[in-house]
Amino acid sequence: MTEPIADSATEELLDLTVVVNGVPRHAKAPARRLLSDFLRHDLRLTGTHVGCEHGVCGACTVLVDGQPMRSCLMFAVTAQAHEVTTVEGLGAIDSMGPVQQAFIECHGLQCGFCTPGFLTTITAYLEDHPHPTADEAREAISGNLCRCTGYQNIVKSVLRAAELRAERAGTTT
């Protein structure tokens, strides 16, 4: 649960290259730099949040080759040669993805700290399961914790995101 920052005085620094949100990003970091810290502190992508720091809460979830991974349980070195997608890569304010849009519409967030982990998890889930039922939506995100919302609006957001996704694809649900 340490969080060494760049220019470590105590550890050998490696040249790391990780493709993040489609762009190869370079930084020097120690071998045991967590991916979450690498994203936040070395690449300054602070949209990825660290909550429990040991893989339980899911706030730090990013997509690695499209699959949700806990970035607090992964070393940055092991993310090399993989494509990482963070919340920043899901869409900007003027080009939001369906999951982002759904969370806004359905009030699927309060303090917002857990939100990036939900967004990445749901984005990956809908890729494989574009038309979930409410029960399936709950199951899909059962590995993420939210301390504010009581989860109801997050389930609604998943269902709404599926609708938006289908609309954008030009199909009907």
Partner 1 sequence: MSALSERPANPVVGQEIPHEAASLHVTGEALYTDDLAVRTHGILHAHPVQAPHAHARITRLDPSPALEVPGVVRVLTAEDVPGVNDAGVKHDEPLFPSEVMFFGHAVCWVLGETLEAARLGSLAVEVDYEPLPSLVTVHEAIEAGSFQGGQPHMERGDIEAGFAGAAHVYSGEFEFAGQEHFYLETHCSIALVDENGQIFVQSSTQHPTETQDIVAHVLGLPSHAVTVQCLRMGGGFGGKEMQPHGYAAIAALGSTLTGRPVRLRLNRTQDMTMSGKRHGFHAQWRVAFDDTGRLQALDATLTSDGGWSLDLSEPVLARALCHIDNAYWIPNVRVNGRIAKTHKTSQTAFRGFGGPQGMLVIEDILGRCAPQLGIDPIELRSRNFYVDGQSTPYGQPVRHPERVAICWEQVLTTGDVATRKADIAAYNASHEHSKRALAMTPVKFGISFNFTSFNQAGALVHVYKDGSVLITHGGTEMGQGLHTKMLQVAATTLGVPLSTVRLAPTRTDKVPNTSATAASSGADLNGGAVKDACEQIIERLRAVAAGRLGVHPADVRFSDGHVGKVGGGATVPWADLVNQAYFQRIQLWAAGFYRTEGLHWDSSAMHGSPFKYFSYGVAASEVEVDEFTGAYRLRQVDIVHDVGDSLSPLVDIGQVEGAFVQGAGWLTLEDLRWDESDRPSRGRLATQAASTYKLPSFSEMPEVFNVALLERAHEDGAVYGSKAVGEPPLMLAFSVREALREAAAAFGPAGTSVDLASPATPEAVFWAVQEARGGAEPPHMTAMVEGAPGVVPDQPGADAAPLRPRSEQAAQPARAGT
Q: Which residues bind partner 1 (CB under 8 A)?
A: 1-11, 40-41, 44-49, 51-54, 56-57, 59, 86-88, 90-93, 96, 99-101, 103-105, 107, 109-116, 119, 138-139, 141-142, 145-153
Q: Hey, what amino acid is at 89? A: G
Residue (of 117, 122, 129) closest to 86 by Cα position: 117
Q: Return d(Cα 50, Cα 58) in angstroms, integer.
A: 8
Q: Please give the backbone phi and psi of residue 154, each rounded to the nearest 5 degrees, phi first.
A: -75, -40
State the minimum distance, in angstroms, from the CB of residue 173 to partner 1.
Answer: 22
Comparing CB distances to partner 1, the nearer of 70 and 74 is 70
Q: Answer yes or no: are the C-beta atoms of 75 and 33 closer than 8 Å.
A: yes
State the minimum distance, in angstroms, from the CB of residue 39 to partner 1.
Answer: 10
Burial bucket for residue 147 (CB in 10 Å: 0-12, 13-18, 19+): exposed
State the minimum distance, in angstroms, from the CB of residue 169 to partner 1.
Answer: 20
Q: Return d(Cα 21, Cα 83) in angstroms, integer.
A: 7
State the minimum distance, in angstroms, from the CB of residue 170 to partner 1.
Answer: 23
Comparing CB distances to partner 1, the nearer of 111 and 171 is 111
Comparing CB distances to partner 1, the nearer of 56 and 77 is 56
Comparing CB distances to partner 1, the nearer of 83 and 88 is 88
